[in-house]
């Protein structure tokens, strides 16, 4: 039996008196792309932040490659964070640096100062996300989709074992969304990374997912394949899949 | 019981803030001790803090020295003590005005900018991105700023005091007619190395206060642009108050080490 790369058990988180995660259980297996669906404000991004130690749970456990990470101190998390790349919702590019320096940042921080090596790796990373030729632009001059692609180039320049995508297609037009979805698939096939994609975009889910989980009221309500999700008769799943609000229309 | 709750309500936030500042300072000095220093960023910060603050500090020092000289002259002239103006202004500049005014000006210019920059990074998730990329925000953001501030502040204080004394000489001798030889002789007679030491120590301490208060406020910023504005205001107000309050206690403590009027 394959051991999960990330094993989450009974994760509980409260923010401002509200229980966001209520005992969430989930396993992420090596090499798979798991899509986590759920309503906006349902705790998907909060959950993602726990996986990289940006938030600490009230209770519960997250085991990454056999190590419990919820009890680690900030500096003890650094070796784990080097193995996990994260794409933030709006890219979170460093606005004082241009595209080249943003993408080169992780390399330089990990001790690579040879300009030729840095140039070559940045060029390769930017080519993977179709952003060649934009090296000297500042983040403020990039569109939302371009920012996300640069952020992805930054996340993959030192190839991680896992990539966490926070709403990779939110706010993008269908064409750019499609290019991001293809990119996620391409990264999985080329770099063999394990991916967790948080989204509420069903099109994106169908394009990239090996497995799908639905987060509802702080717990995993459904876990299965995209086909099982489409065939499910559970009203909560159907509302989500069919895009129904559940409210009466007058 | 009620008195206790009022007391704890008043002092708990202050104690919590002091605790956070001490932890940030401890973390920063710990990183410096372990050699987690980014020289490029530190040099850039020295240019920003030290070089960029020169004009404001020099102008402040010069005009403070000038106006203090004029006012002291107007008072002392009625007692025929014009020649005391030089040492009074020089000692005041070294021991009090130079460090305090430099601190206040740097808090306004650099502290506010520092807190706004770090605060903006915080609310736009750039600090989370740093952490996600396995870069410690204290090492990357606070250590270079702290080193730059602790190096720059004593130099800025010396510039402020130096220009204050020069301006005092110019106004005293060339504008108000004090004899130049007496002015210089009295300044030399009443000013000692301990006054310069006091000035440098205060500059160093105020630099530490400014950088840790600014970085802490920036790192705690939340709620978007409003939160960044709040952090910036809090930085200037807290730093200024901290400088003025610490200045009093430092004066009392340093006067034991370097007693005034013992010449």
Residues of chain B with Cβ-Cβ distance to A93 below 8 Å are 126, 129
Nearest CA in chain A to B129: A92
Distance CA B69, CA B91 (A): 12
More confident residue, B2 or B205: B205
Among B120, B124, B133, whose Cβ lies nearest the Cβ of A81? B133
Residues of chain A with Cβ-Cβ distance to B128 below 8 Å are 49, 54, 88, 92
User: Do the domain assignments include residue A132?
Assistant: yes
In which region does residue A217 sit, left (phi positive, over 0), alpha (psi from -120 to 50) or beta (all else)?
Answer: left
For residue B29, the surrounding DSSP H or E stretch is: helix B2-33
Spatial CA neighbour of B81 closest among B183, B170, B188, B181 = B183
Q: Are A160 and A109 in contact (CB under 8 A)?
A: no
pLDDT tens for residues B173-201?
999 988 889 889 988 988 888 899 999 99
pLDDT recorded at residue B131: 94
In which region does residue A17 sit, left (phi positive, over 0), alpha (psi from -120 to 50) or beta (all else)?
Answer: left
pLDDT recorded at residue B263: 53
User: Do the domain assignments include residue B108?
Assistant: yes
User: Do the domain assignments include residue B44?
Assistant: yes
More confident residue, B263 or B125: B125
pLDDT recorded at residue B78: 86
Mean pLDDT computed over B85-92: 92
User: Do the domain assignments include residue B9?
Assistant: no
Q: What are phi and psi of A111, to 5 degrees?
A: 95, 5
Is the pLDDT score of B262 beyond 60? no
Among A52, A93, A94, whose Cβ lies nearest the Cβ of B132? A52
User: Do the domain assignments include residue B212?
Assistant: yes
Q: Which domain holds residue B244?
A: 20-255
- Write out residues 207-226 of A within 8 Å (CB-CB) of B: none
User: Do the domain assignments include residue B168?
Assistant: yes
User: Do the domain assignments include residue B7?
Assistant: no
Spatial CA neighbour of A87 closest among A149, A40, A129, A36 = A149
Q: Which domain holds residue A117?
A: 96-159
Does B136 contact A78 at a Cβ distance shorter than 8 Å? yes
User: Do the domain assignments include residue A100?
Assistant: yes
Using only the alpha carbons of chain A, give its radius of gyration: 18
User: Do the domain assignments include residue A113?
Assistant: yes
Distance CA B77, CA A92 (A): 64
Of B5-9, B37-41, B194-198, which range is least confident? B5-9
Q: Are B244 and B206 in contact (CB under 8 A)?
A: no
DSSP states along A71-120: T--TGGGHHHHTTEEEE-TT----TTS-HHHHHHHHHHHTT---HHHHHH
What is the ipTM for the molecules in this complex? 0.89
Interface probe for A, chosen from B31, B36, B125, B133 (most Cβ of A below 10 Å), is B133
Residues of chain B with Cβ-Cβ distance to A159 below 8 Å are none
User: Do the domain assignments include residue A30?
Assistant: no
pLDDT recorded at residue B1: 65
pLDDT recorded at residue A203: 87
pLDDT recorded at residue A186: 83
User: Do the domain assignments include residue A152?
Assistant: yes
Domains identified in chain A, total number? 1
pLDDT tens for residues B118-170?
999 999 999 999 999 999 999 999 999 999 999 999 999 999 999 999 999 99
Does A88 contact B133 at a Cβ distance shorter than 8 Å? no
Domains identified in chain B, total number? 1
Interface probe for B, chosen from A76, A84, A87, A94 (most Cβ of B below 10 Å), is A94
Is the pLDDT score of B228 beyond 90? yes
Residues of chain A with Cβ-Cβ distance to B132 below 8 Å are 52, 54, 81, 84-86, 88
Q: Is the dihedral of CA B98, B103, B108, B109 positive or negative?
A: positive
Helices B85-92 and B54-77: crossing angle in degrees, nearest 10, is: 140
Residues of chain A with Cβ-Cβ distance to B133 below 8 Å are 81, 105-106, 109, 154
Nearest CA in chain A to B31: A75
**Ranges in chain A, pLDDT < 50:** 248, 250
pLDDT tens for residues A101-111?
999 999 999 88
User: Do the domain assignments include residue B13?
Assistant: no
Does B133 contact A106 at a Cβ distance shorter than 8 Å? yes
pLDDT recorded at residue A247: 56
Judged by a CB distance cut-off of 8 A, whether residue A198 touches chain B is: no
């Amino acid at each position: 039996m394959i051991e999960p790369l990330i094993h989450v058990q009974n994760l509980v988180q409260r923010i401002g008196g509200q229980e966001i995660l209520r005992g969430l259980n989930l396993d992420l297996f090596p090499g798979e792309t798991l899509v986590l669906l759920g309503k906006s404000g349902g705790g998907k991004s909060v959950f993602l932040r726990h996986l990289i130690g940006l938030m600490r749970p009230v209770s519960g456990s997250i085991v990454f490659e056999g190590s419990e990470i919820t009890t680690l101190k900030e500096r003890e998390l650094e070796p784990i964070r080097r193995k996990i790349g994260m794409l933030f919702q709006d890219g979170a590019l460093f606005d004082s640096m241009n595209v080249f320096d943003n993408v080169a940042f992780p390399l330089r921080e990990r001790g690579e100062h040879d300009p030729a090596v840095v140039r070559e790796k940045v060029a390769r990373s930017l080519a993977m996300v179709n952003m060649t030729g934009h090296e000297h632009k500042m983040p403020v001059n990039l569109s939302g989709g371009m920012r996300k692609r640069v952020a992805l180039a930054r996340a993959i320049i030192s190839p991680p074992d896992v990539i966490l995508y926070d709403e990779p297609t939110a706010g993008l037009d269908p064409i750019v969304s499609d290019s991001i979805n293809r990119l996620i698939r391409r990264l999985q096939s080329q770099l063999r990374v394990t991916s967790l994609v948080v989204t509420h975009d069903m099109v994106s889910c169908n394009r990239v997912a090996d497995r799908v989980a639905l987060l509802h009221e702080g717990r995993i309500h459904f876990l299965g394949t995209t086909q099982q999700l489409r065939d499910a008769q559970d009203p909560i799943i159907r509302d989500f899949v069919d895009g129904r609000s559940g409210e009466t229309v007058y | 019981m009620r008195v206790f709750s009022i007391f704890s309500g008043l002092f708990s936030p202050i104690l919590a803030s002091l605790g956070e500042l001490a932890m940030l300072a401890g973390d920063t000095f710990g990183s410096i001790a372990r050699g987690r220093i980014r020289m490029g960023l530190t040099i850039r910060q020295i240019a920003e803090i030290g070089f960029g603050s020169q004009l404001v500090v020099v102008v402040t020092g010069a005009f403070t020295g000038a106006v203090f000289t004029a006012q002291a002259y107007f008072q002392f002239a009625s007692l025929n003590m014009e020649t005391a103006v030089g040492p009074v202004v020089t000692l005041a500049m070294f021991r009090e005005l130079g460090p305090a005014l430099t601190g206040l000006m740097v808090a306004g210019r650099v502290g506010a900018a520092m807190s706004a920059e770090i605060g903006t990074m915080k609310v736009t998730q750039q600090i989370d991105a740093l952490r996600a990329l396995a870069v410690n925000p204290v090492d990357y953001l606070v250590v270079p700023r702290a080193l730059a501030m602790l190096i720059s502040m004593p130099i800025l204080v010396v510039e402020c005091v130096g220009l204050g004394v020069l301006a005092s000489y110019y106004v005293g001798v060339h504008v108000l007619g004090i004899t130049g030889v007496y002015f210089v002789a009295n300044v030399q007679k009443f000013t000692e190395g301990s006054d310069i030491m006091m000035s440098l120590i205060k500059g160093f301490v105020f630099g530490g206060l400014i950088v840790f208060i600014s970085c802490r406020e920036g790192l705690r910023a939340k709620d978007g642009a409003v939160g960044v504005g709040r952090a910036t205001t809090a930085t200037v107000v807290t730093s200024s108050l901290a400088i003025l309050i610490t200045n009093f206690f430092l004066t009392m403590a340093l006067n034991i080490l370097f007693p005034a009027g013992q010449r």
